[in-house]
Structure 1
């Protein structure tokens, strides 16, 4: 069963083996010996990479493809992400379907912030675990977004793939989402899939919110992670991946999201130019959506060199 679940996570390729052991698994070329030292390769010895254990993965749905990993993050990892974010939170935005710009909307009432990639050793380890679980390269992922929901706050039904062309320019569409729960919630705050094919067979009692009863739902549990795919295996969009974050009824909810694209999301190396220029065609749009303040390390100053969007951020 663990083998079947493990292979079901692969978003693109289809494998058929008459017999299998982890020792015989040939990893994708992007997973070099150096990158996987101490991670996926340890599976052949029966000692899974800390926090990533395919035996703890449960298939929730095939339409959409959704999987739950119990105990994906340790309590210490959860608390660390919250501590990195809690004094930097801003009102969450949604992507405008025409312009692609981030705008405020009552559809999404949480607050959040983006970490830097490989911001520290703990963040780096989490990003490696996500890549190992999804079999998608680290460079295809966006930075982790930490989110906070207080009483009544929610995110109404939406899809994570893009409805505008602008956001597809960098990295292509979002193929997968990994949603990590950083806290328990006394009541409410479930992730619900209104159009999941299995929504009618999931038993629900009074411990579930009314919102969660409208589809297949997952209760937030500290340390658990939910992986689901917004694209089919042929890269067409999957409308059944429509999902929502139900309103928090009692307590508060902390979560962290990693969106993963079909191509590398990382930008090319800095040119090293000291001129007042933008080095990415998306700089004006990003600046207009507030990224100069939210992501100054990339936009303005990386610490070792000038940022990529100094002109749009008007710092030169």
Structure 2
């Protein structure tokens, strides 16, 4: 995604935040995104920070939706992993001590509706998102501060960097479990009383509230990585924490995975039924970005352009 597209995208986010801040006396935009009774309502969104860009949506999920996601995950949890900075492979680490699992995309009607609602909120297509990950934190479990963008090339080729993260809280936590941003501009000005954990006081923090969702961006509008997006999950002191994470990439994550699978089995195909005609018309040379692509972002007509076999 080039800087022009990023600027346009963040202009939409800015307009959304202006709508949230305005005094609206008439009707508001309520967009039905599926069969769920929960509409998308931008007036529920509050800007938390510009560095990093972070927003909270109060009541993004209904209580029933939260419980449903927990039920889907409860019997399938495994120890959470992290991406190795060199190889990009998933490895165990004491940096992250929770347990979790990934749902399937559009696994059922409820999941599909939540994914559509996320796309409506972020202005990023469903296909750019990874599957929702459900996480469970018990007493003392946490995730040390980290970045959601990648340091390795292997993961960057799967849809590019993660541009945005939507973190949905599926349960209340009696004490601890806050999401903390140690590098956020508001870390020194946020008012925190004794109800906040010591970990939360190390940065700008957000308390987990059942049904709320936190959206933050890991990249600047010019597509460079934002070090202010460093974030972590504070240890749970009392109770337990359930959350659901949706990571969203700058390009189609679904298409990247599909192309990788095809490459692994040696399959060479076109992604558009018009590719053959376009290739005959010379589009492989005239429009190589779309037709052929690059190493990190394969084109849509590689077979017709004869760059794979």
- Is the pair's TM-score, using the shorter chain for normalization, greater than 0.5? yes
User: Do residues 12 (structure 1) and 9 (structure 2) align?
Assistant: yes
Helix, strand or coil for the counterpart of 1:14? Answer: helix
Number of corresponding residues: 248
Name the CA shift for 1:282/1:237 in 2 (closer, same or farther; >3 Å). Answer: farther
Equivalent of 1:189 in 155, 177, 181 = 177
Which residue of 2 is the match for residue 267 of structure 1? 255
> Cα distance, 1:278 vs. partner?
5.1
User: Does the CA contact (< 8 Å) of 1:160 and 1:174 recur in 2?
Assistant: yes
- Aligned ranges for residues 219-298 of structure 1 at < 5 Å? 219-267=207-255, 279-281=262-264
Q: Distance in 2 between matches of 1:199 and 1:81?
A: 32
| Separation of aligned partners in 1, 2:113 and 2:182 | 33
Instruction: Say if 1:202 and 1:139 are closer, same or farther in 2 by CA, change over 3 A.
Output: same
Greater fraction of residues in helix = 2
The corresponding residue for 1:52 is 40
Measure, in 2, the Cα distance between the counterparts of 1:215 and 1:200. 7
Task: Rate the CA distance shift 1:268–1:65 in 2: closer, same or farther, 3 A.
Answer: closer
Q: CA deviation at 1:14?
A: 3.0
Whole-Å Cα distance in 2 between the matches of residues 64 and 114 of structure 1? 26
Question: Does the 8 A contact of 1:65 with 1:228 survive in 2?
Answer: yes
Q: Are the counterparts in 2 of residues 51 and 74 from structure 1 also a CA contact under 8 Å?
A: no
Distance 1:132 1:282, change over 3 A: farther
Matched, 1:203 2:200: no
Residue 135 of structure 2 corresponds to: 147
**How far is the alpha carbon of 1:267 from its aligned partner?**
2.9
* Cα deviation, residue 47, structure 1: 3.4
Q: Flag structure 2 segments of 5+ consecutive residues without an equivalent.
A: 1-5, 20-25, 33-37, 267-309
Displaced runs of 4 or more, over 6 A: 15-18, 268-271
**Contact 2:29/2:42 (<8 A) preserved:** no
Instruction: Find the partner of 1:163 among 151, 159, 164.
Output: 151
Confirm or deny that 1:180 pairs with 2:168. yes
Structure 1 runs not aligned, ≥5 long: 1-8, 23-42, 272-276, 284-316
* Mapped partners of 1:16, 1:147: distance in 2: 27
Do 1:10 and 1:135's aligned partners in 2 also have CA atoms closer than 8 Å?
A: no
Cα-to-partner distance string for 1:114-173 (whole Å, 9 max, x where unaligned): 000000000000000000000000000000000000000000000000011100111011
Given the superposition, is the C-alpha separation of residues 183 and 208 from structure 1 closer, same or farther in structure 2, using an over 3 Å criterion?
Answer: same
The structure with the largest alpha-carbon Rg is: 2
Instruction: Please tell me the root mean square deviation across aligned C-alpha atoms, in Å.
Output: 2.9
How far, CA to CA, are the matches of 1:191 and 1:238 in structure 2? 17
The change in CA–CA distance for 1:167 and 1:45 in structure 2 (over 3 A counts) is same
